[in-house]
């Protein structure tokens, strides 16, 4: 179906809040991490609560494979200029479920991966410009443009400073959500060229950052409101330890327009009672079936079938996630050896830095029948592991929100986490006296404490099984859905109107 300019298949009800939600990855189309989960679930919840939300993302090769062009509507097409280069943006549209626009340009997006290319600056400058420019062409002028992470940083700048002369843009308010401040999209002077910005934007009050030019800084400066994905992370971002150079900007200049809202998970999609990825479905009342998942998992992947506690990690393999403290030595031994001395079994699913992939290859060589290592990205396998494991590790150096621990708790795996960011906001250390708590926490970023907490969990698992089960039940009872947080987002949007 071809729509002419200005025509639209969906109509917004009178007075309904309209939001264009922009993300470089969205479940179920493309995912490398938690951002995709948020972009897949939050808009759906906002729609349930009455907001007219449309999502927009790039039309990557992986999206193309799932949703071929002939299943989508073509709603607009136009040239986008990036300095001297003009690139064509095709706007494809899926009006069902969560209405989603896809920006198609094969030169930029028809590739195997999502990020990590030499021309990422140009690719996401194009994406940002194409999004800003589609607003006047698709018959949907949002009240709120909600941008996420550096890939969308320039959008608020373009809306506020470049296109303000068009009355369609006059009343748009921009929200910028930081999902991870470590990745800021810092490039050279070509940022100015691609975004067609003059030298006035080249100073440190604007986009300049440590000699480069920052997409994220553009997002922070020009948004009407900034938020991040947990209240604790917002406070941490204002410190030199966690702010990655943007702390003073957030602390001294932008504090008045910043807040933290915790993420949720899609509790329908991730439900151990119905998840088709599991060997056996279970819930609070049938928690015993979780044990059967563990047995089946051990059998399928060749783990010794004994009564040991199964410890898991599902993560990007990078320093941020605590893998550097797993390299440490304690009591003259490698931390991982000490952990294995406790008699536990270990499963890891992850991809990332070569150093850590090699570390776990070596680990597998040392513990062939007590460990399983998947150096892979596999969503259904991840759900199987959450369901099979007794304990889930997330010893992160920093964690904006963290979804792994939420998934783990939902699937009855007890989280062991470092007390930072969203981990601090979502996991409560178990108290043996009151029987309250949903996991184990440690504060100091050291392999020793990770080991000690695994030792503590293992002690409960073997010697006080009723306490261990109590933690599992407490964790599974927590509500990790999006409803409360989505209501907070709506309040934030309304406050800006």
Positions in the binding site for ligand ADP (CB under 6 A): 33-34, 37, 180, 314-316, 349-351, 377-379, 382, 401-404, 407
**Shortest distance in whole angstroms from residue 214 CB to ligand ADP:** 20
The residues facing 146 across adjacent strands are 21, 175
At 341, give phi and psi (nearest 5°): -65, -20
Q: Which residue is nearest to ligand ADP (CB)?
A: 34
CB of 89 or CB of 382, closer to ligand ADP: 382
**Closest by CA position to 293, among listed 384, 379, 374:** 384
**Closest by CA position to 344, among listed 459, 439, 265, 444:** 459
CB of 35 or CB of 51, closer to ligand ADP: 35
Checking DSSP bridges between strand 258-260 and strand 391-394, what pairing results, if any? unpaired
CB of 142 or CB of 402, closer to ligand ADP: 402
**Shortest distance in whole angstroms from residue 263 CB to ligand ADP:** 7
**The two three-digit tokens of residue 105, written as one number:** 């340009």
Distance in angstroms (rounded) separating the CA atoms of residues 263 and 241: 23
**Shortest distance in whole angstroms from residue 30 CB to ligand ADP:** 12
**Shortest distance in whole angstroms from residue 103 CB to ligand ADP:** 22
CB of 220 or CB of 423, closer to ligand ADP: 423
For residue 305, the SS3 value is coil
Helical (H) or strand (E) element with 477: helix 465-477
CA atoms within 13 A on the CB side of 318: 9
What's the DSSP call for residue 460? H
**Shortest distance in whole angstroms from residue 494 CB to ligand ADP:** 27
**Shortest distance in whole angstroms from residue 261 CB to ligand ADP:** 14
**Shortest distance in whole angstroms from residue 440 CB to ligand ADP:** 17
CB of 175 or CB of 314, closer to ligand ADP: 314
CB of 351 or CB of 419, closer to ligand ADP: 351
**Shortest distance in whole angstroms from residue 97 CB to ligand ADP:** 20
Cβ atoms of residues 191 and 211 within 8 Å: no
CB of 37 or CB of 133, closer to ligand ADP: 37
CB of 33 or CB of 481, closer to ligand ADP: 33
* DSSP string across 157-206: HIIIIISTTSHHHHT-EEEEEES-TT---EE-THHHHHHT--GGGGSTTT
Distance in angstroms (rounded) separating the CA atoms of residues 226 and 174: 9
Distance in angstroms (rounded) separating the CA atoms of residues 297 and 303: 8
CB of 151 or CB of 180, closer to ligand ADP: 180
**Shortest distance in whole angstroms from residue 316 CB to ligand ADP:** 5
| Dihedral sign for Cα atoms in the order 335, 337, 341, 346 | positive
**Closest by CA position to 257, among listed 233, 232, 223:** 223
Q: Where are the alpha helices (DSSP H) in 342-392?
A: 354-366, 379-388
């Amino acid at each position: 179906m071809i729509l002419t300019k200005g025509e639209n298949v969906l109509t917004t009800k009178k007075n309904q809040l309209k939001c264009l939600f922009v993300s470089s990855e969205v479940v179920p189309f493309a995912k490398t991490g938690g951002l995709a989960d948020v972009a897949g679930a939050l808009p759906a919840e906002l729609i349930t609560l009455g907001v007219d939300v449309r999502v927009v993302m790039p039309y990557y090769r992986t999206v193309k494979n799932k949703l071929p062009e002939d299943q989508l509507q073509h709603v607009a097409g136009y040239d986008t200029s990036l300095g001297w280069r003009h690139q064509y943006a095709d706007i494809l549209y899926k009006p069902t479920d969560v209405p989603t626009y896809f920006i198609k340009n094969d030169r930029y997006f028809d590739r195997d991966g999502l990020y990590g290319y030499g021309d990422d600056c140009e690719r996401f400058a194009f994406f940002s410009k194409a999004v800003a420019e589609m607003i006047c062409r698709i018959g949907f002028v949002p009240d709120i443009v909600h941008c996420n992470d550096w890939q969308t940083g320039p959008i608020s700048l373009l809306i506020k400073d470049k296109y303000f002369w068009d009355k369609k843009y006059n009343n748009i308010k921009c929200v910028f959500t930081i999902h991870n401040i470590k990745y800021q999209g810092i490039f050279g002077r070509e940022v100015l060229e691609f975004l067609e910005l003059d030298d006035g934007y080249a100073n440190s009050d604007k986009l300049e950052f440590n000699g480069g030019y920052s997409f994220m800084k553009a997002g922070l400066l020009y948004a009407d409101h900034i938020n991040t994905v947990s209240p604790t992370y917002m406070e941490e971002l204002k410190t030199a330890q966690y702010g990655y150079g943007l702390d003073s900007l957030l602390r001294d200049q932008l504090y008045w327009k910043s807040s933290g809202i915790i993420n949720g998970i899609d509790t329908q999609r991730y439900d151990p009672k119905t998840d088709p990825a599991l060997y056996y479905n279970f819930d609070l009342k049938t928690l015993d079936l979780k044990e059967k998942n563990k047995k089946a998992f051990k059998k399928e992947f060749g783990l010794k079938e004994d009564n040991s506690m199964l410890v898991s990690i599902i993560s990007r393999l990078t320093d941020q996630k605590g893998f550097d403290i797993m390299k440490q030595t304690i009591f003259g031994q490698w931390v991982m050896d000490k952990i294995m001395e406790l008699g536990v079994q270990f499963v890891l699913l992850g991809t990332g830095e070569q150093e850590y992939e090699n570390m776990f290859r070596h680990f597998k060589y040392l513990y062939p029948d007590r460990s399983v290592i998947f150096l892979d990205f596999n969503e259904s396998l991840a759900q199987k592991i959450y369901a099979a494991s007794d304990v889930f590790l997330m010893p992160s150096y920093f964690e904006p929100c963290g979804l792994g621990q939420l998934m783990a708790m939902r699937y009855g795996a007890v989280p062991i986490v470092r007390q930072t960011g969203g981990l601090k906001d979502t996991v409560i250390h178990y108290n043996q006296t009151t029987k309250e708590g949903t996991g184990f926490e440690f504060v100091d970023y050291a392999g020793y404490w990770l080991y000690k907490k695994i030792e503590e969990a293992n002690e409960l698992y073997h010697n006080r099984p009723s306490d261990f089960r109590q933690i599992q039940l407490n964790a599974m009872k927590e509500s990790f859905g999006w409803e409360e947080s989505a209501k907070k987002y709506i309040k934030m949007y309304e406050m800006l109107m």
